[in-house]
Copies of this chain bind each other. A is one copy, B any other.
């Protein structure tokens, strides 16, 4: 079993209204040192071994379902082999 950590972020050029709202809240709470906030998704996916390479499987899942590649980028790390 492999644990894969996937980070999905909005592309640089895409506005992030959720991040802007959080930044405003932090400023209202007197955290004026905060310059910018960008919000994305973080997924932990546990994958059993199959006959296909894990990189191929993860990349395909991200492109088809987990990220909208028009406006989002994704990165991932294959974290650990969990012994059964």
In the bound complex, CA of A45 to CA of B40 (Å): 11
Question: Which B residues touch A43, using CB under 8 A?
Answer: 19, 22, 37-40
Partner of A33, one of B29, B57, B64, B65: B57
* Contact present for B9 and A34 (CB under 8 Å): no
Interface 1/0 per residue, A46-84 and B, CB below 8 Å = 111110000001000100111000000000000000000
Chain A residues with CB under 8 Å of chain B are 1, 7-9, 19, 22, 25-26, 29, 31, 33-50, 57, 61, 64-66
7 additional A-B residue pairs with CB within 8 Å, beyond A7-B42, A37-B45: A33-B47, A33-B57, A34-B45, A34-B46, A35-B46, A36-B45, A40-B43
